[in-house]
Structure 1
Amino acid sequence: MNWFTKTFSSTIGRKIVMSITGLFLCSFLVVHLLGNLTLFRNDGGEAFNLYSHFMAHNGIIRTMEIVLLLGFLFHIYDAIVLNRRNSSARPINYAENHPEQNTGTWASRNMGLLGTVILVFLIIHLWNFFVPARFGGLDPVVIEDVEYENLYVRVVQSFQVWWYVLIYVLGMIALAYHLIHGFQSAFQSLGLTHKKYTPFIQIFGFAFSVLVCLGFAIIPIYFFFSQQ
């Protein structure tokens, strides 16, 4: 156990954990987006409410929520530890005295800031949607003689508030930048780099980051302007 602890508490080990949890969270984003796209169906929210009910009451999904939460916690904790180690190893005055040597993209230099913005957005998002969906507080709706919680109405009402739409869109912009750097960095940390395949990974990672975040951002924008 000692070697295991030392390995995964080292900088390389923590980067591996960051990479694995990050790619796992990417898979969650795809599933979550596909479910949210049911909001665009012209059925008064029936498909979305059925999807929400399934996600809230399926035993496998509820178990995966615990795994997802642990993935978030490990990802955030390792990010904080690595950021502190990088700050200690690279004093601030170095970047100030040698700005030309401060290499990397803007996203790579500001992953901590982007992660903080995403975390704040996530807390607001969970409080507004996840908590009422799991612990009550939503109005009921009857679908085929069965009563369900009407999360669809909560979504529509939330996306009528301009500042919430703004927070949501800014959160998706931050997430896009975070993913663009993180996707490529994850493969690099796992040693999955090759001059033949790395360019494809970079292109795929960029497309994935932009399209997924754009898909999420379109939802509040659509409901905000369609209800005006």
Structure 2
Amino acid sequence: MIVNKITYKKLMALAGLFWFAYLIFHLFGLFYFHLGEEAFNLYYGWLNNSPIDTILRILLLLSLGFHVYIAVTRQLSNNSSIGTKYKKPYPKAVPRSVAWSGALMLLFFIIFHYFQMHEVESVTLYKFLVDTLTKPEMIIIYILGLTTITAHLHHGLTNAFQSLGLCHKQYNLIVSLILFVVMGGYISIPLSIWYA
């Protein structure tokens, strides 16, 4: 049983790492925003009409469902079992209820963002993004979303390294540095709008 739990945790970590890789890919696309409206709309016009977009959507949906399914089943299994667990428990500073609340908020943000952007035409995407990130309520949602993503990724990536056998303080430092750079990239989009 413990072998299965470790295997499932590794698979869950790999699914999470795929989403993290997509976040970096998505960030590179968003950087076209800094090149102006034409470059931004042209890039997303190409991407949205490319088979890459369809493949990514399918893989993201499957990996998200897989990630959530394993997380829920592992939690239910942990709740119903007693004995020695192979992994370190949550630290006291991060109660399990807080971690799960953050995960649910992140899932809501992903679903909200998908449907928010799903019907937007590529030729108007730049203007839509500018209009969206000048609304106070959307700024709050965006900030909450980034905060939740950062917290979940920090927890998830450090656990992913642990699941893959990379347990050392230096990996926690690397995770923090990577997240600082990635989230800084995402924050640069609204900042460029607010201070334009």
Question: TM-score, normalised on structure 2?
Answer: 0.84
Q: Is the 8 A contact 1:21 1:74 kept in 2?
A: yes
Q: Is the 8 A contact 2:42 2:123 kept in 1?
A: no
Q: Is the 8 A contact 1:19 1:189 kept in 2?
A: yes
Structure 2 counterpart of 1:177: 151
Structure 1 residues 31, 108: CA separation in 2 closer, same or farther (over 3 Å shift)? farther
| 2:17 maps to which of 9, 15, 23 | 23
Structure 1 counterpart of 2:163: 189
Question: TM-score, normalised on structure 1?
Answer: 0.74
User: Which amino acid in structure 1 is aligned with residue 111 of structure 2?
Assistant: I
Is 1:112 the counterpart of 2:106 in the alignment? no
| 1:209 maps to which of 173, 179, 196 | 179
Is 1:126 the counterpart of 2:118 in the alignment? no
Deviations 1:3-35 (A, max 9, x none): xxx899x42232111111111111111110111
Matched residues in 1 for 2:77 and 2:17: separation?
23
Cα displacement (A) at 1:215 = 2.1
Provide the alpha-carbon RMSD of the alignment.
Answer: 2.4
How many residues matched? 189
Matched residues in 1 for 2:179 and 2:95: separation?
15
User: Which amino acid in structure 1 is aligned with residue 8 of structure 2?
Assistant: R
Matched residues in 2 for 1:208 and 1:58: separation?
29
Matched residues in 2 for 1:221 and 1:175: separation?
18
Matches within 5 A, 1:4-153: 10-41=4-35, 43=36, 45-89=37-81, 104=91, 106-107=93-94, 109=96, 110-129=98-117, 131-133=118-120, 138=121, 149-153=123-127
Higher relative contact order (CA 8 A, sep 6+): 2
Percent sequence identity over matched residues? Answer: 29
Matched residues in 2 for 1:202 and 1:171: separation?
22
Secondary structure of the corresponding residue to residue 119 of structure 2? helix
For structure 2, the residue ranges without an aligned partner over 5 or more in a row are 83-88
